[in-house]
Amino acid sequence: MKHERTILNISLGLAIVSLALLPFAAVAFDASHQDQRAGFIANKGQVHDQFGRPNQAVQYLYNGPGMNVQLRKCGFSYDTYSVREEERTQGLERARVKDLQVGMDTDTAPITYDFHRIDIHFVNGDPQATIVQQGESEDYTNYYTDVTGEAGATFVRSYSTVTYHDVWPKIDVRFNSGEDGFKYDVIVHPGGDLNDARFKVEGAAISESQKGRLVLDWGSGSLEELIPDSWMEQGRRKERVNARYRMEGSDRFGFAVDRSISGTLVIDPSPIIWGTYLGSAGLDESRAVALGTDQFSLVTGYTTSFFNMATSGAFDISYNTGGDAYLVKFDPNGARAWSTYFGGLGKDEGNSVALGPNGDVVIVGTTASLSGIASAGAFQPALGLAQSTDGFIARFSSAGTRVWSTYYGDPSRTNCMP
């Protein structure tokens, strides 16, 4: 089944603020289409800069949690962002939701988005390199904004792979998206010279770590690249090759290998090591983590993000307003196994997580929700006192389904903390 969605630029105050906070992304959130296939979104005129002008330098845009990636004619860029909350005061307000009086904690201080862009240029690369896109999405988006005008940018699709052919003589750069996020390959065909593949970094200082990783540091943050795998292809044969970064001063790098190459060389850097951003455009906080004997990681915390926090088939895939707890499980390589919201219409926070027998997971936290917390037959089926908070305890299976959950507290304010 093919899916279509249309994005309109509605000139409301909140909409204007949202667009200003995402200077390079012209993609608006559509709650009805949360699981749209991730990939490289082709720029057909909908991408704009921080001044609202069309940004034709961007060929494709990849939107990831905590980091977006621009593919440009002569390189690519990491657009990193983080969400932080200023000092806040908390109070209780009464909100009528579906004719119910609900007690909620409200945050009166603003949320601040911190952006930083890192440009990576192809040194002496061909700006006319042939670009080939593969893995077209079935769904598409139509954009009608101030940037696109009345004609709009229509039938905009995303792609799983974008390859720049002959950036340097007989050297390609291939960009990939998938469950592990964004990464790129440098492919040296027979007759190509690996020494030609050089990159210049602007917006971050670069260095090589003791473990041989490329470190990009911009003062308020950093990320690392590593080379998990490199190989040489000769016909159907595939031989592993040891590759490393080659530093050239304070702003340039390339690659080197430990042997002569007689076939096609593929170097496969990953821009972020296991360590990942989690969240979206809201406030996302990680409060606790647990590591299982199988090296799977469990994280719980608090979120106000409407999307990118729950996986298909999870216990609760929809944000419930007021702020939700969440629980996410990662495999040993950092790929998300599953994740879920947990909460009701009030403010719910996950504060601690622990592993039980058979891989079960237990989280505890704080809730102001009148419903959506306790399972049938729970120890405490209801909030102790409206307009107050209780603790909660929730147990999930290793697959992320809820086993049971309960309120826990007395009529006064109760928090479950580690």
| pLDDT for the residue numbered 293 | 73
> What confidence category does residue 416 fall into, taking pLDDT thresholds of 50, 70 and 90?
low
Cβ(135)–Cβ(39) below 8 Å: yes
Q: Residue 285 above 90 pLDDT?
A: no
| pLDDT for the residue numbered 394 | 92
| pLDDT for the residue numbered 100 | 34
Average pLDDT over residues 203-228: 85
Per-residue pLDDT tens over the stretch 28-60: 223 323 334 569 999 999 988 878 888 889 999
Tokens read off for 236: 């159907």
pTM score over 0.75: no
- Neighbouring-strand partners of residue 270: 226
Higher pLDDT, 156 or 33: 156
> What confidence category does residue 189 fall into, taking pLDDT thresholds of 50, 70 and 90?
very high
Which of 201-205, 320-324, 332-336 bottoms out in mean pLDDT, i.e. has the lowest?
A: 332-336
How many Cβ atoms sit within 10 Å of the Cβ of residue 116?
A: 16
Q: Residue 403 above 70 pLDDT?
A: yes
Q: Is 80 exposed, middle or buried (0-12, 13-18, 19+ CB in 10 A)?
A: buried
> What confidence category does residue 104 fall into, taking pLDDT thresholds of 50, 70 and 90?
very low
Q: Express as a percent the part of the chain with pLDDT over 70.
A: 77
Per-residue pLDDT tens over the stretch 352-394: 999 887 889 999 999 888 888 888 988 888 887 766 788 899 9
Q: Torsions phi, psi of 214, nearest 5?
A: -85, 120
User: Which of 325, 320, 307 shows the shortest CA–CA distance to 366?
Assistant: 325
Please name the residues in contact with 54: beta carbons below 8 A apart, sequence gap of 6 or more.
45, 47, 48, 147
Tokens read off for 120: 């990576």
> What confidence category does residue 162 fall into, taking pLDDT thresholds of 50, 70 and 90?
very high
| pLDDT for the residue numbered 43 | 94
Per-residue pLDDT tens over the stretch 168-180: 999 999 999 877 6
| pLDDT for the residue numbered 89 | 41
Q: Residue 15 above 70 pLDDT?
A: no
| pLDDT for the residue numbered 88 | 44
| pLDDT for the residue numbered 362 | 94
CA angle 7, 10, 15 (to 5 degrees): 95
Average pLDDT over residues 285-289: 88
Q: Residue 14 above 50 pLDDT?
A: no
Q: Which of the listed ranges 76-80, 120-124, 136-140, 211-215 does the model predict with the highest average pLDDT? A: 120-124
What Rg value do the Cα atoms of the chain yield, rounded?
Answer: 24
Residue with tokens 């298909």: 312
E strand map for 356-414:
361-367, 390-396, 402-408
Average confidence score pLDDT of the chain: 79
